[in-house]
Amino acid sequence: MSDQQLINDFLQFLSLNQGLSQNTVQAYRRDLKLLLEWMPEHALDGLSGIQGEDLKGFMLEMQETRTASSNARLLSALKQFYQWGLQYQDFAADPTALLKGPKLTKSIPAVLSEQQVEDLLRAPDTLTPLGLRDRAILELMYATGLRVSEVVTLPLEQLNLSAGLVQVVGKGNKERIVPLGEIAIEWLQRYMRNARPVLLKHAWGEALFISQQGRAMTRQTLWHRVKNLAKQAGIRGELSPHGLRHAFATHLLNHGADLRSVQLLLGHSDLSTTQIYTHVAKERLHQLHHAHHPRG
């Protein structure tokens, strides 16, 4: 079997058996392609015969041109590939066994203030179908902390406005139920009543949010819209695709929510992933103390 076929079979295994998103699978495909392109330059002609020292040299070269987070994912792809090869393809050994990933420092995300969020929410022109859709999207994202990918793939049937809940299928096909809040419900109702039928052109569509072409939105389209609306709202600096998700988590903690509840709402499998928001909240409290306390 060719190396390319091995990679294809491995990626198909990940999609079908591990529940990884297509974005992750495609990132792994690009990572493994880097190794395929590197091998001929070093007289290596088969993935199954690579030694640990070979991969160590490969990773060292990658560290010269790629970020630590990209190389951490690269090593994850390699480890999973060779573990799969041992189990399903009779590889003789796992050359990644002794490889260690780069040390990653958890960066604290920049978070929109509550006033900035209000300005962003008011930016769309709700007299137009697209503006009404965008307002509903922003309200949903801030009310629930959904990822951009979760918003664009959200089916209409998983929204229960009468109960005030949305069912979300997140990373690893893990499901969670998230409450919506009255304001988000109101804007979603207005969108579904006055804008969605117009965008669909009275056809049928499974996705909740519809593009100008009458189809489900893409992540790129949604992110482009949010960035433009942020500029309209006068928000300076680089806004992350998870900007409203970060704001959702941080503002909850600022107002007294416990970390475990925020973890469940965000769909984090590990509490340590959520803990970064406690640092953001604490930093905000320090800033408030410094700005407003007479002895700050």
Residue pLDDT, tens place only, 107-124: 556 678 889 999 999 999
Active site residue 290: no
Which segments of the chain have a pLDDT < 50? 289, 293, 296
Active site residue 231: no
SS3 272: helix
Annotated catalytic residue, options 79, 171, 176, 219:
171
- Whether residue 145 contacts residue 181, with contact meaning beta carbons closer than 8 Å, is answered with no
pTM of the predicted model over 0.75: no
Cα(209)–Cα(122) distance, integer angstroms: 19
- Whether residue 55 contacts residue 32, with contact meaning beta carbons closer than 8 Å, is answered with no
What per-residue confidence (pLDDT) applies to 44?
85
Active site residue 171: yes
What per-residue confidence (pLDDT) applies to 296?
46
Active site residue 245: yes
Annotated catalytic residue, options 133, 147, 225, 246:
147
Q: Please give the single-letter amino acid code of residue 37.
A: E
- Whether residue 166 contacts residue 265, with contact meaning beta carbons closer than 8 Å, is answered with no
**CATH architecture observed for domain 114-292:** Orthogonal Bundle (1.10)
Task: State the span(s) of the chain assigned CATH 1.10.150.130.
Answer: 3-88
Active site residue 193: no
Cα(81)–Cα(31) distance, integer angstroms: 11
Cα(79)–Cα(97) distance, integer angstroms: 8
Annotated catalytic residue, options 133, 196, 225, 245:
245
What per-residue confidence (pLDDT) applies to 257?
79
Cα(8)–Cα(68) distance, integer angstroms: 26
Cα(134)–Cα(144) distance, integer angstroms: 15
What per-residue confidence (pLDDT) applies to 132?
97
CB atoms within 10 A of CB 180: 21
Q: Please give the single-letter amino acid code of residue 227.
A: K
Task: State the span(s) of the chain assigned CATH 1.10.443.10.
Answer: 114-292
What per-residue confidence (pLDDT) applies to 290?
57
Q: Please give the single-letter amino acid code of residue 252.
A: L
Q: Calculate the dihedral angle through the C-alpha atoms of 213, 204, 176, 221, rounding to the nearest 10 degrees.
A: 0
Q: Is the dihedral of CA 288, 119, 171, 76 positive or negative?
A: negative
Burial label for 132, CB within 10 Å (0-12, 13-18, 19+), is buried
3-88 folds as DNA polymerase; domain 1 (1.10.150)
Chain centroid to Cα 14, Å, comes to: 18
Q: Please give the single-letter amino acid code of residue 26.
A: Q
Residue of 34, 40, 32 whose CA lies nearest to 84: 32
Angle value at C-alpha 55, between 100 and 41, nearest 5 degrees: 150
Annotated catalytic residue, options 29, 66, 242, 284:
242
Q: Torsions phi, psi of 165, nearest 5?
A: -135, 155
Active site residue 196: no
Helix (H) or strand (E) holding 175: strand 175-179
